[in-house]
A and B are shown apart, each in its own frame.
Chain A
Amino acid sequence: MSGKKLFTRRKFLKKTLAVSAGFTIVPRFVLGGAGFTAPSDEITKAVIGVGGMGRGHLKYPGAKLLAVCDVDENHLKRALEIGGPGVEGYKDFRDVLERKDIDIVHIPTPPHWHALISVAAAEAGKDIWCEKPMTRTIGEGKKVVEAVQRNGRIFRINTWFRFQSQYYGFGTTVKPIKKVVENNLLGWPLKVTVSATTGFNWKFYWSGKTFLKPKPEPKVLDYEMWLGPAPYKPYHPHRVHNTFRGYWDYDGGGLGDMGMHYLDPVQYILDKDRTSPVEIEADCPQQHPDACGSWRRIQLKYADGCMIILDGENKDKNAAFIEGPEGKLFPGLESDIPHLKEKINSLPDPKPQVTDFIQAVRTRKKFTLNEDNAHRTCTIVNLSKIAVRLGRRLHFDPEKQLFIGDEEANRLIHQPMRAPWHL
């Protein structure tokens, strides 16, 4: 039952045993003689996973769409209609990766597929535009970072608030906040509160259902392939499209959905792109083994004393977004520091960022929201998920990226995939 369809692809059977030279060590790929084929001027892309989220990716500007891929025929059909002529449809992402004319692969699949497709894309020499959350587990995130970096790929995660747009209910962009913190106007260490008061609403409607009656698998959906590396559980429509976020097997509720959007700027502001919290604690109702539920409060502490509070109940009505020993910063740059807004004006800008992904692909410069810092942000999400599931205080080693003295928590860092899938 699991993954039996893996190698039944038509294409595969057509071409087999060919090619003359061996490794010895290594075969040489011959691409039109001894010279190098010039990279075509137009950057090209494929979108893997074209459900609700993926359809949005079809129209992202900057690269020409050549291929779409989905395990649901209806999704595929719709995407092909949107894509228009010249776009090909695939059911198996590996067929997409085999195409040599595709530069960028977008991965807006459910999160349990992100790592597998990212690693395979990196090994196939593709650059990657991956949806948030980056990976479902910390272990998978490490593998993606390794594969992307080893293969010299350009990676971006699909969140952007550290470099553009109004930062949710905070009411300004992130840049002035970064200036305030970077120039030490609030002192150190800092406490950041992410709640409805400070402008961020945790979406608990992504909770899963604890009782589902199995339903027949729809004909248009290859459920086996949809599950892929995830454990087999009987089909129910609530487990898949649009509502999969409610199940630990695929995502992590509202944390999975909004976590990286809300928290990546926090990590950037606190200058924690290269580390992770060391102590995590959650206050929440008990979580179902399968379905994600709500939580009241999650607290993450860094080694230097900086803290991130996720206030799910919006309990602290007076909370500042950032609080330091020398001042507080509220939405709209309101503050107890006199004339803060004027002060911000005279402060130097933060380091410029590489914010154009297509440019990054062309110049091979790391995109500002890349595999490194996205993995760290996603680690905040994944640490929070584990704390919520285990309901006890956890200690984490940001270097080794393992919990200290908690075997069960570590078992959630590395969760085996269903055969034949592996990283």
Chain B
Amino acid sequence: MAPLGARGREKEKMKKYRLTFILLAVLTLFISIGTAQEKSVGLQTEIQKILQKYPAQNAADLDKQSYEILQMGKDGLLSICRLLVPPGKADDSRVRFALGGLTTYVNRTGKEEQRKLYAKAVIKALESEGDKNVNVKAFLIRQLQRCGKKESVRFLKRYLSDPILGEPAVQALLTIGSNEAETILLRSLNAVPQNNKALVIKALGELRSQRAVRKILEYSSTRDRELLNVTLFALANIGDSRAEEVLNKMAVTAGPYERAQAPSLYLLYAQRLAEHGKKQLCVNICREFIRSYMSPQESHVACAALAVMVAVLGEKSLEDILAAMDSPSKEFRMKALELSDRIPGQEATTRWLERLENSRPEVRAEIIGMLGKRGDTSVLPLLLSELKSEVRPVRLAAIPAVVSLGDSTVLNELWPMLQFDSKEELEVLKLALLRFSTPLIVPEAARIMLDVPPLARMVLIEILAERRAKEFVDVVFSQAKTEDETLREAVLTALERLAGEEDLPRLVDMLLGATETREILLLQNAVVASANLNENKESRADLLLAALETSEGKTHLDLLRILPRIGGTKALHSVIEKTRSEDARIKSVAVYSLAAWPDIDALEAVLSVILTTENPTFRYVSLQGYIRLIQGAELMPEEQYLLLSEVFDAAVELEDKKVILSGLSRIKSKQSLRYVAAFLQDPELQSNAARAVTRMALPGDEEELGLVGSDVEAALKQTAGIVQDIDMVNRIKDYLGVLWEQDGFVSLFNGKDLSGWMGNTSGYEADEGKLIVLQNRGGGNLYTEKEFSDFILRFEFKLTPGANNGLGIRAPLDGDAAYMGMELQILDNSAEKYKDLKPYQFHGSIYGVVSAKRGYLKPVGEWNEEEVLARGKRITVKLNGTVIVDADISDAIRNGTLDGREHPGLKRETGHIGFLGHGSHVEFSRIWIKELK
């Protein structure tokens, strides 16, 4: 309580009743207004009981619960509706779950009676809501949107003029539909305020209300842009010829946005005309549009007109589609070709073939593409002849077309095309050939390989590789010496996929003779692939090792480099031996190769490099390899830990240590955590250690549990102070809460509302995990409902400049807690205005009784952590990890209190815990308590 004068005015009368939770509070309020009070009480208990079951865990439960609620009848339903509160007021999500569930339940087949009952209750709730929050009403109206029928239509009428509820009401009417809904909307149009006209007109337009045309037309000259927009849409969508003039004129008189929309809306209008039987009128409009809108930036309008026309005319539109091929717009032609599939049949095909004959090359290609998709195989002979066209785009279109229409005989026409030398064409050809199965293409590809130009040969090699045609590997090898670089690259690339085990010798030979980097790389891949086909792991590298002995210089290194990709004991020994080479380059490559070794056999050798080398890069690379090997092997966490922690002493550079910490972080064991936690104090390594601690200690994504124990807790607390990422800090603190819970702590604050608290609840607010003392409402005292005697209390708090609050413990609900109970001061010590306070008035002090150590508060605006231990007469206060009060009350007052006043509260053995607000903004969070028995 206020330590700075103005005392005594805060004597506050506590309310007589206690709120078990906020829902009940709202409920109680209702009961006191309601009528059948006694009967209600039973019903309310029943409702509370069933609400606790939400959300239902499955459909069967939801059915059962919904059924139970419906058994409560109209009164029960109404009561539940009335438990809704405005968003944020309190957590009414259970109520929303229950109502949402009912909405769905009553929509099941055979539930019409229940649906009526429920809809009527929702209506009744809406009726009796009075001025209650519009968001609550909107929620109820949305339930009607989902389950309402006739009974709801008439009722919703009353909201059409409402500035906010008009919208959901219209949406509900629109969804429910019916003549009556249309009538209601139509009749309301004149009456609703200006701001609601747009939504009513939009709805009438969407309902395509012919009856509304006359009335809507009245708005067609409005200056209200929003209204004009929906008016024009509505008129177009209804498609009544009375609107023609308005829609036509729009293109000239309106603003640019309407003008841009004008053609689309006019076409919509035309389409509706056709639907109403005025087909010819529609077609005339479309033809006119096609004539007028063909420029590149408008041809989409012509497309749309053609699409509408084809939809209306069906097969009769063939001439129009054919004529479209004369258009200069590619977009339009392609649209026409797409629409041509609406007119199947031989007759149309014939017309297309005629059209094909009379078209310029670009259009020919387009038509051929369409014919390929059309599926009419009668055009195949003609398309096959197009393969021989002089014009490349035509050939390009014909290739996929003949493949999709023909069978394997078309291959006979495709093979000769390999004589063409355009890359683009060969690519299309390759895709076409690959559409056939291996026996149809692979032998032939191998056979003609040498007779085609290099570019085509490349395509054939790629086909062999794609199909893993190992039996034809020789012909591919035969091309390996070609002068043509691109071809050579294709060959070497293909060999990786084509070479067999028996091809290893010639590949090794090629590798030994290769000089260009790219070539060496590709050959290394091929060698590795071939060697690894050998089922005997031990002999895979034999050939390479032999070559290694006799090679020197760069070749020697290249061979050494690929050994880890093959593995085997002999190879490993060879690599180990090379790590001791006198030749710096050989040594270096060997160290890298060793560090990259695929299995744990290399571990000892790698470790030996780490321990003996003086080259920092070797050490670092080997450390990385060492960790990778350990992680890759199936070792127990303890073994992993031993192997990793052991090597830490060998770390020299900071980076060495970091990589080991990161390795340790993957081991989820307490041993490992303890080891890493020791580095939380090391300024150079603490952020790495912190990352490692979180990774080890926190629960993982799947079902992986977090680590537990007091050392884990200590490490996490320390880590929370190091980590910068606020989400991570919250994750750590949430998990600490879990640990505390296991340790017997319970949370005093649910983060959402003031459940469990009493007193001046209006001076405090719960907001997403924070308990906020509201400045403008004075704060006042907020007490736990429960009383506590001996306990450990943990909480976090954040001060504002000059903030003043207090923590009451063992306090009665009446009187000044600082005297009638005990107050632990909460104060911004740094504020200028407090500079003359007495020592026993600063933060943490037992007010007037014991002075706290100063200097341990975080700067104002940052979160502080406090722990209060109250055991008998002993009170200990720990602030941000430092004990600032540790006192025995009996000792402290032996010679009278520091402030010289009576503190009868010190004798109390139990009481409430409370925040004692003095009108400054303070935030609390994560409030936990453990009672000591």
Contacts and interface: CB of A to CB of B under 8 A. Distances in A.
Nearest to B171: A416
A234 B296 contact: no
B174 interface: yes
B206 A123 contact: no
Interface in A77-101: 94, 97-98, 100
**Interface SS of chain B:** helix
Interface string B653-681: 00000000000000000000000000000
Nearest to A366: B338
A61 interface: no
Given A31-B295, A39-B296, A389-B104, A23 B164 contact: no
A214 interface: yes
Given A289-B99, A348-B434, A213 B767 contact: yes
Contacts of B138: 231-232
Interface string A17-41: 1011111111111010000111100
Interface in A317-348: 342, 345-348
B145 A20 contact: no
Contact of B230 (A351, A408, A422): A422
B59 A150 contact: no
Interface string B256-288: 110111111011000000000000000011001
Interface in A376-406: 389-392, 405-406
Interface string A349-363: 101100000000001
Interface in A99-129: 100, 122-125
Contacts of B93: 210-211, 288
A160 B519 CA distance: 32
Contacts of B175: 411, 414-416
B400 interface: yes
A4 interface: yes
Interface string B317-354: 00000000000111110110010000000000000000
A94 B257 contact: yes
A151 B62 contact: no
Contacts of A342: 468
B101 interface: yes
A26 B251 contact: yes
A115 B431 CA distance: 35
Contacts of B257: 7, 12, 94, 98
A24 B288 CA distance: 9
B88 interface: yes
Contact of B303 (A124, A150, A284): A150
A22 B252 contact: yes
A138 to B, nearest CB: 15
Interface residues of A, number: 85
Given A12-B257, A152-B303, A283 B59 contact: yes
Q: Which of B167, B284, B404 is the most central at the interface, judged by chain A CB atoms within 10 Å of its CB? A: B167
Chain A facing B: main interface SS: loop
Contacts of A286: 54-58, 61-62, 97, 100-101
B543 to A, nearest CB: 25
B204 to A, nearest CB: 11
B478 interface: no
A98 B69 CA distance: 54
Interface stretch (B435-443, B638-646, B801-809, B905-913): B435-443
A287 B259 CA distance: 44
Nearest to B91: A211
B145 A419 contact: no
Interface residues of B, number: 107
A285 interface: yes
Interface string B55-99: 111110110000000000000000000000001100111001101
A26 B292 CA distance: 7
A7 B226 contact: yes
Interface string A230-246: 01111000000000000
A387 B860 CA distance: 51
B251 A23 contact: yes
Interface string B134-151: 010011001001110000
B438 A345 contact: yes
A221 interface: no
Given A288-B100, A390-B104, A408-B104, A364 B87 contact: no
A10 interface: no
B252 A288 contact: no
Contacts of B298: 29, 125
A12 B437 CA distance: 61
B163 interface: yes
A41 B376 CA distance: 36
A212 B285 contact: no
Contact of B431 (A20, A347, A349): A349
Given A23-B248, A288-B97, A289-B142, A392 B59 contact: yes
B65 to A, nearest CB: 9
9 contacts: A37-B295, A37-B296, A124-B260, A231-B171, A283-B59, A286-B101, A411-B146, A415-B175, A419-B203
Given A289-B96, A419-B170, 19 more contacts: A15-B256, A22-B248, A23-B262, A26-B293, A29-B295, A38-B296, A123-B261, A123-B304, A213-B768, A232-B167, A234-B135, A285-B56, A286-B62, A288-B100, A346-B438, A390-B107, A422-B202, A422-B205, A422-B233
Interface of B: 54-59, 61-62, 87-88, 91-93, 96-97, 99-101, 103-104, 107-109, 135, 138-139, 142, 145-147, 163-164, 167-168, 170-171, 174-175, 198-199, 202-203, 205-206, 225-226, 229-230, 233, 248-249, 251-253, 255-257, 259-264, 266-267, 284-285, 288-289, 292-301, 303-304, 307-308, 328-332, 334-335, 338, 369, 400, 404, 431, 434-439, 466-468, 752, 767-768
Top-10 shortest CB links A-B: A7-B225, A152-B303, A346-B438, A419-B199, A213-B88, A289-B100, A210-B93, A152-B335, A125-B300, A408-B107
